[in-house]
Amino acid sequence: MLSSKIGGIGFYVPEKVVTNHDLAKVMDTSDEWIQERTGIVERRYAERHKETTSTMGAAAAKIAIERAGITAKDVDFIIFATLSPDYYFPGSGVLLQRQMGMNGIGALDIRNQCSGFVYGLSIADQFVKSGMYKNVLLVGAEFHSCGLDFSTRGRNVTVIFGDGAGAVVIQPTEEEGKGILSTHLHADGDGAEKLAYMNPGSHAGVHVGTEKYGYPEQEFGGMFFTPKMFEDEDFFPNMEGQAVFKFAVQKFPEVIMEALESNGYKPSDLDLFVPHQANLRISQFVQARMGIPDDKVWNNIQKYGNTTAASIPIALCEAWEAGKVKEGDLVCLAAFGSGFTWGSALIRW
């Protein structure tokens, strides 16, 4: 029976390192405050006007393609996961396609934020298992630093995020019990506004539950900036940290166990767990609850911050390069993010 596997993997992070001390120069924060709450020490920022989400994605993709033993011409489908595209539209998938000379093949953009890579992996898995495609390029890339609030007001969000990209090539395999064993995807829109970037948007005056979002006094509604948005500084990401943390530490263990139990495994069978790098405290809480030892977990949020859709492929690639992912290893990926969305994937490497 045909299965899919990760045939090649690569990542790219910008050269510019931004430390917690750097952020403390522009907002009321400190290295101690940030590390205590998030575990982050530094992050990378892309070079504006020279780098974009798609160029970073292409840099990671080139490495993944080379490691897969193919060329760009062999790729027959692109999946691009990001919440920070180059343009509002079109998506970054076609821009990457143009940069890499892969014109003519399909390019799918997905918007599942921190769960984007796991969602994309599930989509790629179905395409390959069905025999529709042989080489699917899956990219997760983010350029967060161009849209953050670098003031004390925005510090709770801004200190968390960084820029970067990761990519994998998904290919078919006929080896029994190898490759992507299963993927598990979930969502709960009731918490959509707990972690969101709502303006500018088309929701002016819309009631959600008992709350009202948007600007009903706008004559034309919609997807453009208004004076009131500038007055309220309502064009930056918003996060209710406690609500996100509470939901994440509940759903992370559930979806990990779903992946393990679906394949007849338990946490002690894992060789490596790679969580989405949302917050080191969340990862440590989940790890302790699952009873997974330190040497079987890969965290790199300390160096890169939360790179959203890019965080899992960056971490997985780093782990692979460090020799922590070997042939035959059982690897679990899991993510939780805005939407709320969450998911997991179990892989026999």
Higher pLDDT, residue 153 or 240:
153
pLDDT reading at 222 higher than 60: no
Q: What's the domain range around 226?
A: 198-235
What's the average model confidence in pLDDT over 253-257? 96
Tell me what the mean pLDDT of segment 109-117 comes to.
95
Assess whether pLDDT exceeds 60 at residue 208.
no
**Is 343 inside any structural domain?**
no
- Name the domain boundary from 235, 253, 282: 235
Task: State yes or no: pLDDT of 220 exceeds 60.
Answer: no
Percentage of residues in the chain having pLDDT higher than 70: 89
**Residue 138 included in any domain:** yes
pLDDT of residue 37: 93
Region 65-78: mean pLDDT is: 98
Residue 217 has which token pair?
């006094």
Same domain, residue pair 215 and 129: no
204 part of a folded domain:
yes
Q: Pick the catalytic residue: 144, 184, 203, 276?
A: 276
Q: Are residues 148 and 229 in the same domain?
A: no
**Taking 70 as the threshold, does the pLDDT of residue 73 lie above it?**
yes
Check if the beta carbon of residue 112 is closer than 8 Å to that of residue 79.
no
Active-site residue flag, 146: no
- The per-residue pLDDT for 15 is 98
Domain end position, chosen among 207, 235, 263: 235
Per-residue pLDDT band at 346 (split at 50, 70, 90): very high
pLDDT band, residue 233 (cuts 50/70/90):
low
Are 168 and 22 found together in one domain? yes
Q: Which residues contact 205 (CB under 8 A, 6 or more apart)?
A: 212, 214, 215, 216, 218, 221
Domain co-membership, 144 together with 100: yes
Residues 222 and 94 occupy one common structural domain: no
User: Does 20 share its domain with 81?
Assistant: yes
Closest CA to 9 of 259, 325, 297: 325
Q: Bridge-partner residues for 330, per DSSP?
A: 348
The verdict on residue 261 lying in a domain is: no
- Catalytic residue from among 114, 135, 184, 299: 114
The answer to whether position 249 is within a domain reads: no
Please say whether the beta carbons of 340 and 195 come within 8 A: yes
Residue 71 lies in a domain: yes
Q: Is the pLDDT of residue 185 over 90?
A: yes
CATH number of the CATH domain containing 83: 3.40.47.10
Q: Is residue 238 flagged as an active site residue?
A: no
Q: Is residue 165 part of a domain?
A: yes
Pair 217, 85 in one domain: no
Mean pLDDT within 34-40: 96
Name every residue whose Cβ is closer than 8 Å to that of residue 47 and which is 6 or more positions away in sequence.
14, 15, 16
Q: Are strands 3-12 and 238-239 parallel, antiparallel or unpaired?
A: unpaired
pLDDT in the model for residue 290: 92
Our count of domains for the chain comes to 2
Please state, in angstroms and rounded to a whole number, the distance separating the CA atoms of residues 224 and 239.
22
Q: Are residues 101 and 212 in the same domain?
A: no
Residue 20: inside a domain, yes or no?
A: yes
Q: Pick the catalytic residue from 20, 135, 306, 332.
A: 306
The reported pLDDT for the residue numbered 211 is: 57
pLDDT at 182 over 80: yes
In the chain, the N- to C-terminal Cα span, in Å, equals: 17
19 and 82 housed in the same domain: yes
Peptide bond into 85 cis (omega under 30): no
* Judgement on whether residues 128 and 211 belong to the same structural domain of the protein: no
Closest CA to 197 of 306, 338, 16, 1: 338
Tell me the three state secondary structure of residue 23.
helix
In angstroms, the CA 51 to CA 194 distance is 30
Claim to verify: residue 208 and residue 62 sit in the same structural domain? no
Residues 118 and 47 in one domain: yes
Establish whether 199 is a catalytic residue.
Answer: no
Return mean pLDDT, the chain: 90
Over residues 85-96, the mean pLDDT reads 95
